[in-house]
């Protein structure tokens, strides 16, 4: 049996070392401190670790494309900094958000700087130029998608009816495409066939959707473990799959989008969501996506790394933080 956590942690160390190499604090220090704040605060490094394991699953040498792993984590952190400004969030990864600590103008710039650095770092991969161009093309398209996803997420707050299809589309763009980029970039960089590239893209995409649905579940059942306030999605009026499903079942949530609620009110709302089966519905959906993801890996040769990819996808929907 693979120990997912230790396998991930081992590779996260490699990633962290590469991050310090590729993202040093330079002058002007005020800008670069803001730029590095969140990335240095930690995080699971899930995406760059997926880059490494996907490379292994292709039987290739990830030392040649370590910059791509760093680029993906850099993009991820850029999106977090800007999302936190837009969502007015004050804490993340147990520390103050960048705009809270350094002010909004510097936070906007810190995100922009990371965005630009990501592409600069990506070009350092030691692979054929034509594959590198394809990688730039994919990553830039993915970034456009992420912006669209965040826009959809924000606009859902104003829309009365959001259905499951809208939700999946939003999650795909906002969260899943960057995970799909993580799993498929190695195949692109090493010039693998379209078939392999697509299989690894779909694997990451379905995992990403499952991951986000599980995140929504954790907001309600994970309590404080996840590091943000329990039930905050309901109070903030976030149209998650759980809520969408409950609304379709005619359930009414008094505190939905009210901005604040007591612990008892939240407990009552969560109980309603449990009783109507919406939480189980979401859990099952997440599981379905992960099963679909794993099937995509049939295209790849069997290997320990392929098993690890499968184990990680299972872990994504069983994690409790």
- Site residues, its own copies (CB under 8 A): 28, 30-31, 82, 85-86, 104-106, 108-109, 111-113, 115-120, 122-123, 128-130, 132-133, 136-137, 139-141, 143-144, 146-148, 150-152, 154-155
Who contacts 121 (Cβ-Cβ below 8 Å, separation ≥6)? 22, 23, 67, 70, 71, 74
Q: Which is nearer to its own copies, 139 or 218 (CB)?
A: 139
End-to-end CA distance of the chain: 22
Distance from C-alpha of 197 to C-alpha of 231, rounded to nearest angstrom: 38
Distances (CA, A) of 6 to 145, 207, 294: 32, 20, 21
CB of 216 to its own copies, least distance (A): 21
Q: Which is nearer to its own copies, 100 or 272 (CB)?
A: 100
CB of 72 to its own copies, least distance (A): 14
Q: Which is nearer to its own copies, 111 or 231 (CB)?
A: 111
Q: Which is nearer to its own copies, 125 or 269 (CB)?
A: 125
Distance from C-alpha of 229 to C-alpha of 2, rounded to nearest angstrom: 32
Q: Which is nearer to its own copies, 2 or 85 (CB)?
A: 85
CB of 172 to its own copies, least distance (A): 13
Q: Are 82 and 99 within 8 A, CB to CB?
A: no
Distance from C-alpha of 116 to C-alpha of 190, rounded to nearest angstrom: 23
User: Where does the chain show beta strands of DSSP type E?
Assistant: 91-92, 95-96
CB of 148 to its own copies, least distance (A): 6
Q: Which is nearer to its own copies, 8 or 114 (CB)?
A: 114
Burial of 272 (0-12, 13-18, 19+ CB in 10 A): middle
Beta partners for residue 225, in sequence order: none
CB of 184 to its own copies, least distance (A): 16
CB of 210 to its own copies, least distance (A): 24
């Amino acid at each position: 049996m693979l120990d997912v956590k230790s396998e991930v942690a081992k590779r996260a160390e490699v990633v962290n070392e590469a991050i310090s190499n590729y993202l040093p604090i330079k002058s002007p220090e005020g800008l670069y401190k803001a730029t590095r704040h969140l990335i240095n605060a930690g995080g699971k490094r899930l995406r760059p670790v997926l880059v490494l394991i996907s490379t292994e699953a292709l039987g290739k040498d990830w030392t040649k494309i370590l910059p791509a792993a760093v680029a993906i984590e850099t993009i991820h952190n850029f999106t977090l900094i800007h999302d936190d400004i837009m969502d007015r969030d004050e804490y993340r990864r147990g520390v103050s958000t960048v705009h809270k600590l350094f002010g909004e103008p510097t936070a906007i710039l810190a995100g922009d700087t990371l965005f630009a650095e990501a592409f600069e770092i990506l070009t350092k991969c030691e692979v054929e130029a034509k594959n590198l161009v394809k990688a730039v093309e994919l990553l830039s398209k993915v970034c456009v998608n992420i912006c669209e996803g965040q826009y959809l997420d924000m606009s859902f707050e104003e829309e009365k009816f959001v259905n499951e299809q809208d939700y999946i589309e939003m999650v795909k763009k906002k969260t899943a495409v960057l995970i799909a980029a993580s799993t498929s970039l190695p195949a692109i960089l090493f010039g693998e066939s379209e078939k392999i590239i697509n299989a690894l893209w779909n694997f990451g995409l379905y995992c990403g959707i499952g991951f986000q649905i599980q995140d929504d579940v954790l907001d309600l059942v994970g309590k404080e473990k996840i590091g943000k306030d329990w039930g905050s999605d309901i109070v903030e009026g976030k149209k998650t799959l759980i809520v969408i499903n409950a609304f379709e079942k005619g359930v009414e949530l008094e505190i939905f989008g009210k901005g604040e609620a007591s612990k008892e009110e939240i407990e009552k709302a969560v109980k309603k969501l449990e009783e109507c089966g919406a939480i189980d519905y979401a859990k099952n959906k997440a599981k379905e996506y992960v099963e679909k993801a794993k099937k995509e890996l049939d295209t790849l040769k069997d290997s320990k790394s392929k098993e690890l990819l499968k184990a990680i996808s299972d872990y994504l929907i069983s994690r409790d933080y």
